[in-house]
Structure 1
Amino acid sequence: MNRYFFDIQSGRDFFADEEGLPLPNLKAAEVKAMQTLTGIAKESVFQSKRPDLAVEVRSSTEQLFCVSIVHRNSSTTH
């Protein structure tokens, strides 16, 4: 099993995953990243916070991918 690390970016705060999680493959890491992101998003909505959120996934040697939620209010221009 490979060890995957799930670093969290919430607004301007960054939380590095020091332990990682052993998972069988990249697909399992993708599922875990999405579960983590949606869990954080649910908590932030209940706290009236809506920061941009991201889970950056890496192995012990390289960045692999990032899943994110970007919050834009009605006054944000595209």
Structure 2
Amino acid sequence: MPEWNQSVFMERFFFDIQSGRDFFADEEGLRLPNQKAAQAEALQTLAGIAKESIFGVERPDIAVEVRSTSERLFCVSIVYRNVSTEH
């Protein structure tokens, strides 16, 4: 009996990163079972970027835009705002 390859049935999702004026296109993507898994991956990616402070001391807005091979699907983002309170 031939071995069943589950990845054949998974959709490829691409996770493009926007930070300030910088844009990093995901050329490879990931094969995932569904859009819910892609949402979890996008949130983990975004949290990792914020946690590791990849972009240095400056805190630009960061977004991960997720697309399939045929369309844009959704975007998750962190918006930094410096809110000063003066008393």
**TM-score in terms of structure 2 length:** 0.81
CA RMSD of aligned residues (A): 1.6
Give the Cα–Cα distance (whole angstroms) in 2 for the partners of residues 53 and 45 of structure 1.
11
AA matched with 2:77: S
Give the Cα–Cα distance (whole angstroms) in 2 for the partners of residues 45 and 16 of structure 1.
16
Residue 64 of structure 2 is aligned with which of 47, 51, 55?
55
- Segments of 5+ residues of structure 2 without an aligned counterpart are 1-9
| Structure possessing the higher radius of gyration over alpha carbons | 2
Number of aligned pairs?
75
The alignment partner of 1:19 has SS state of coil
Q: Does 1:2 align with 2:11?
A: yes
Give the Cα–Cα distance (whole angstroms) in 1 for the partners of residues 60 and 52 of structure 2.
11
Which residues of 2 match residues 12-23 of structure 1 at below 5 A? Answer: 12-23=21-32
Q: 1:62 to 1:43 in 2, by over 3 A?
A: same
Sequence identity (%): 75
Aligned to 1:69: 78
- Segments of 5+ residues of structure 1 without an aligned counterpart are none
- 1:23-75 deviation line (CA, Å, top 9, x unaligned): 00000000000000000011228932311000000000000000000000025
AA matched with 1:73: N
Give the Cα–Cα distance (whole angstroms) in 2 for the partners of residues 33 and 49 of structure 1.
22
Q: 1:54 to 1:46 in 2, by over 3 A?
A: closer
